[in-house]
Structure 1
Amino acid sequence: MFYRHSQKGRIAVIIVYVDDIILTGDDVDEIRRLKEHLALEFEIKDLGPLKYFLGMEVARSKKGLVVSQKKYVIDLLKEAGMSGCRPADTPIDPNVKFENKEGRLVDKGQYQRLVGKLIYLSHTRPDIAFAVSLVSQFMHSPMEEHEEAVFRILRYLKSSPGKGFFFKKSEQRGIEAYTDADWAGSITDKRSTSGYCTFVWGNLVTWRSKKQTVVARSSAEAEFRSMAQGICEMVWLKRIMEELRKPITSPMKLYCDSKAAISIAHNPVQHDRTKHVEIDRHFIKEKIEEG
């Protein structure tokens, strides 16, 4: 992604992926000059207002933008031979717990292809992010129960192939993040799963669900690590907004439902109890003091 700033304080943004390019911004003249310059150097085709990009469909209204991957979902179901499958209400059984036990292995290549495409689909479908993060942990030795979980995600997608994002016009001008953690949720290694989602100007823009790299010794520690990841994401988004010349002037807000983790973040007296999360503790404390 590249930025070009004009003397008027406006900006044009170029987003490039291989030979696909998006031009956007609030400076119409600069965008026109960019098109003319690119046409001199390369053979390009102007497709007009953005409608389709890398499998993502874009629709506009007076209230905002809608981004979805309906065609991508339909093609994925067709490839998996599940176009006529019975839809599921949820992407995964909430009580399921995967473990590395003996069982019948399934086609590794097919499993990796399906999960890889689901990972890409989760760019516009945060509702499947947690389920996809679970099945992606067994890419090297998938078994029947893991394959069944992938098929469950596909059956869920069948129920709502056109679901996507709505980026609404808003008067809000802040950044917010919500963090959570599933303490010792994995029965194979007792590691926790962190999750966060961030909102810019009232719209959901990034999210993540991922197993933590170390075993948390308490629920507060698991929540604390998730908070640190959420803050890192907000700091990155704040820098992006500054580059776009839309700086965030108000304090960013982080929401966490763990009173213990919030207490540790605010109270440095808890030092002796938090030596095992010392780096995260100092990082969070520093960002709180910076506002």
Structure 2
Amino acid sequence: MAFYNPMLIILFTYTKGDTQINVLVYVDDLIISGNNSAALKIFKNYLSTYFHMKDLGVLKYFLGIEVAQSPDGIFLCQRKYSLDIISETSVLGAKPASFPIEQNHRLAHASGDSLSIPEPYRRLVGRLIYLTVTRPDLAHSVHVLSQFLQEPRQEHWEAALRVVRYLKGSPGQGILLRANSSLSLTGWCDSDWAACPLTRRSLTGWLVFLGHSPISWKTKKQPTVARSSVEAEYHSMASLTCELKWLKGLLLRLGIQHTDAIGLYCDSQSALHIARNLVFHERTKHIEADCHFVRDAIQDGTILPSYVPTTVQLADIFTKPLGTRQFQFFLSKLGIYDPYAPT
């Protein structure tokens, strides 16, 4: 069985009896894992007879992602990649920022001079986009900056440098996939209604945990204009439900059963009421497809939506710029880890 994602990484899984082998392929790089060392050795010898291969041993580095294994779990970060960005933008001597983007920014209405050479801005934003693979705290700010690639202005460049200054404070921050964590999924979703001042489209943000470790997150502008905050929240819930279904299938191929309903946390009482109410009325006709999709997932036991107050909605960090206190509070709840931070 093979799974595909937008990065053109292919995952092959093989299961026979109690033996399982997983192969992750990107161009000519492979990650091979399994639960039987003898079977893994036979498989690698088989590949070597048909391809010129070099066994680099225990995984330590893959596509710019540094991997460290310990009894506590597996730690993923992009420290070297982050330091390269900081060095390239010449902010090594600058004071680190405590949060990545100003809370009341007006970048969409920036009227300063356009950058005469936009390539450095585009290159920087492109590198920051890849950095969000292990840095969920950058998802919202990078989403904002990526909207101005066509005609970046001076204000946009300064905002991008602020993100780098925030990065300077914790270049080694990453994700710890804890060894003692449960293998149960939970999802958090949120939206910022009419967040875009130019198009008035809403912003969707969601986060998925495997146990206490974040494994999937996203910030994205919704494709259509929502006529109410409830509609925006429901679109966000449907998007997260789709991701949870995919992850459940992926875990099943890896031999992990997920029989219980997946917890889905939303801070909109109205959206949760629509999800549980089987009666359609004129107020939900415009989101009828999403209504059916979410309700079917509830009825077949895939998800179990629950209310969570806005003050503790973890997905809030993916939908809006936050002040220092709020940002640091949510950051402490994301399950990320910085082994280089002073104790």
Structure 1 residue 83 and structure 2 residue 80: aligned? no
Paired residue for 1:57?
Answer: 66
The structural deviation recorded for 1:147 is 1.2
1:255 to 238, 261, 265: 265
How far 1:32 sits from its partner (Å)? 1.0
Q: Provide the C-alpha distance between the structure 2 equivalents of 1:72 and 1:180, rounded to a whole number of angstroms.
A: 30
CA contact (8 A) 1:174 1:202 kept: no
Query: 5 Å matches for 1:132-151?
Result: 132-151=142-161
Pairs within 5 Å for 1:41-56: 41-56=50-65
Pick which of 213-222 and 140-149 moved more: 140-149
Gaps of at least 5 residues in structure 1 are none
Q: What is the aligned partner in structure 1 of residue 208 from structure 2?
A: 198
- SS of 2:209's equivalent in the other structure is strand
Q: Tell me the alpha carbon deviations over residues 194-244 of structure 1, each in whole angstroms, 9 at most, x when there is no partner.
A: 000111233210000011111111110110000000000000001101111
Q: Which is further off, 192-201 or 99-108?
A: 99-108
Q: Secondary structure at the match of 2:205?
A: strand
Structure 2 gap ranges (5+): 1-9, 302-343
**TM-score, normalization: structure 2?**
0.82
Distance 1:270 1:100, change over 3 A: same
Q: Are 1:153 and 2:163 an aligned pair?
A: yes
Cα distance per residue 1:88-130 (max 9 Å; x no partner): 0001112113325543111221111111100000000000000
Distance 2:243 2:178 in 1: 21
| Aligned-partner SS, 1:92 | coil
CA contact (8 A) 1:68 1:164 kept: yes
Percent pairwise identity: 41
Q: Please say if 1:235 is aligned against 2:245.
A: yes
**1:30 corresponds to 2:39:** yes
The 8 Å contact of residues 3 and 11 in structure 1, kept in 2 or not, is answered as no
Contact 2:13 2:253 in 1 (8 A): no
| Greater mean alpha carbon deviation, residues 169-178 or residues 51-60 | 169-178
Alignment pair present for 1:12 and 2:38: no
Indicate the SS of the match to 1:99. Answer: helix
Q: Normalising to structure 1: TM-score of the pair?
A: 0.96
Name the Cα RMSD after superposition: 1.4
Measured in 1, the distance between the counterparts of 2:255 and 2:173 equals 31
Structure 1 residue 55: Cα displacement: 1.1
CA distance in structure 2 between the aligned counterparts of 1:11 and 1:66, rounded to whole angstroms = 23
Distance in structure 2 (CA, Å) of the matches to 1:167 and 1:4: 21
- Give the CA deviation at 1:163: 0.4
Q: How much has 1:4 moved relative to structure 2?
A: 4.2
| 8 Å contact from structure 1 (residues 191, 211) kept in 2 | yes
Question: Residue 66 of structure 1 is aligned with which of 75, 78, 95?
Answer: 75
Letter in 1 for 2:87: K
Q: Kindly provide the amino acid, as one letter, of the partner of residue 252 in structure 2.
A: E
Q: Give the match's secondary structure for 1:239.
A: helix
Q: Is the 8 A contact 1:66 1:167 kept in 2?
A: yes
State the Cα deviation string for residues 14-65 of structure 1 (Å, max 9, x = none).
1111222111121222221121112111221111111111111111211111
Bigger relative contact order, structure 1 or 2 (CA pairs below 8 A, ≥6 apart): 2
In structure 1, the partner of 2:119 is 109
In the alignment, structure 1 residue 222 sits paired with structure 2 residue 232 = yes
How far apart are the structure 2 equivalents of 1:153 and 1:87?
9
**Preserved contact between residue 170 and residue 202 of structure 1 (Cα < 8 Å):** no
Could you say which residue in structure 2 is the equivalent of 1:170? 180
Structure 1 Cα separation of the partners of residues 238 and 180 of structure 2: 28
Q: Alignment partner of 2:56: what SS? A: coil
From 258, 282, 300, the counterpart of 1:290: 300
Aligned equivalents of 1:189, 1:15: Cα separation in 2: 40
3-state SS, counterpart of residue 16 of structure 1: strand
Name the SS of the counterpart of 1:241 in structure 2: helix
Corresponding residue number in structure 1 for 2:309: none
